[in-house]
Amino acid sequence: MSRLAHIFKEFGRNIYRFPFTALGSLLSLGLLFLLFDLYWIGSVTFEKTYVHLLSDLEMEVFIAEEVVEAQIPDVQAAVAGIEGVSSIRYISKLDAREIMHASLGVDLLAGYDTLNPLPRSFIVDFETPYLASDQMVEIAAQMKGMPMVTEVYYNEEWLKKTEGTRSIILRVGMALGILILVTAVISTVNSIRLTTRMRSEGLAQMRLLGAGRLFLAAPLVIEGFVIGALSAAIGWGVLMYGAGKVTFTQFDLVFPHLREIALFCGAAGFLGLISGYFGVRKLLK
């Protein structure tokens, strides 16, 4: 038997001889990753909704009464020239009246055609990177500073609250990620350490016969890799199966791309590999 074949045989033997140790770590890691996957799907779904909602965010820029119609193109050009503005639409007094009519269902200005008090305005849309509180405050200040602009309005409170929620989700995700990472490492290290303890007599004998550290550690490190990758795959498998059985009416669940899932499983395997190394390190000193 070649050395490589021996290493893989040893890996199989470890699983065969201590199936419950391997199964225990597989299930506990699988549950941990399932929790993380759930959070991941939740945050991706939220992110998609967040981007969709943000794309609807507009800014209304009201024009001073004394500005004559001939000056409107200059004001429009000045507003459109501000960094981050993606499109601009002019709302005349007549347009404003129609919008109000459409939203209230009654034309309150009927009979007062020449006395329309509604202000003229621009509806401004922004490029995605500028749809953030601090950027919007800056842009609004810039617009307010223009001599022909009287008022600037956008849904500032909503934007701040949505950003706050997003930030909380990100922080929770980070904390959860770190917690799961640490727990996964500890769980795998303990599992591998348990296996090495149970095999310590045999490993000591093999060392006395001249077996190197890498040769002895490889099967256990491979075990860590397989347990890590497999438990991550199990987590996703369970979720995908579950998602196929449930439908949501308010929103669609967004799953990460298959490539990202494969990368995640690979990373989980790598985590298991590192944990496996830490599990055997002490014994092989």
Partner 1 sequence: MTDRVIVELSNIDLSYRRSGEIFRNLSLTVRAGETAIIKGGPGSGKTSLAELIVGRKFVDGGAVEVFDDVLRPGRTRAINRVRRHIGGIGGIFGLVPSYTVAENICFPLVLAGVGKRYQKERLLKMLTEFSLLKKASDYPRTLTRIEHTLVQLARASIADQPLLLIDEPMAGLDSSTAARVFEYLVKASLSGRGMILLMSEYPQGTLPNSTSYVISEGALT
CB of 212 to partner 1, least distance (A): 5
Complex with partner 1: residue 169 or 211, whichever CB lies closer = 211
Least Å distance between CB 208 and partner 1?
Answer: 6
3-state SS record for the chain = CCHHHHHHHHHHHHHHHCHHHHHHHHHHHHHHHHHHHHHHHHHHHHHHHHHHHHHCCCEEEEECCCCCHHHHHHHHHHHHCCCCEEEEEEECHHHHHHHHHHHHCCCCCCCCHHHCCCCCEEEEEECHHHCCHHHHHHHHHHHHCCCCEEEEECCHHHHHHHHHHHHHHHHHHHHHHHHHHHHHHHHHHHHHHHHHHHCHHHHHHHHHCCCCHHHHHHHHHHHHHHHHHHHHHHHHHHHHHHHHHCCCCCCCCCCCCHHHHHHHHHHHHHHHHHHHHHHHHCCCC
Stretch that binds partner 1, among 114-122, 163-171, 209-217, 232-240 (CB under 8 A): 209-217
| Residue 201 binds to partner 1 (criterion: CB under 8 A) | yes
Residues 215-254 that bind partner 1 (CB under 8 A): 215
Q: Is residue 177 at the binding interface for partner 1, with CB under 8 A as the rule?
A: no
Q: Is 165 in the site for partner 1 (CB under 8 A)?
A: no
Minimum CB–partner distance for residue 210 and partner 1 (Å): 3
Residue number, 18 or 270, with CB nearest to partner 1: 18
Q: Does 3 bind partner 1 (CB under 8 A)?
A: yes
Per rule CB under 8 A, count of chain residues that contact partner 1? 19
13: contact with partner 1 by CB under 8 A:
yes
Contact residues: partner 1, CB under 8 A? 1-3, 6, 13, 17, 199, 201-202, 205-213, 215
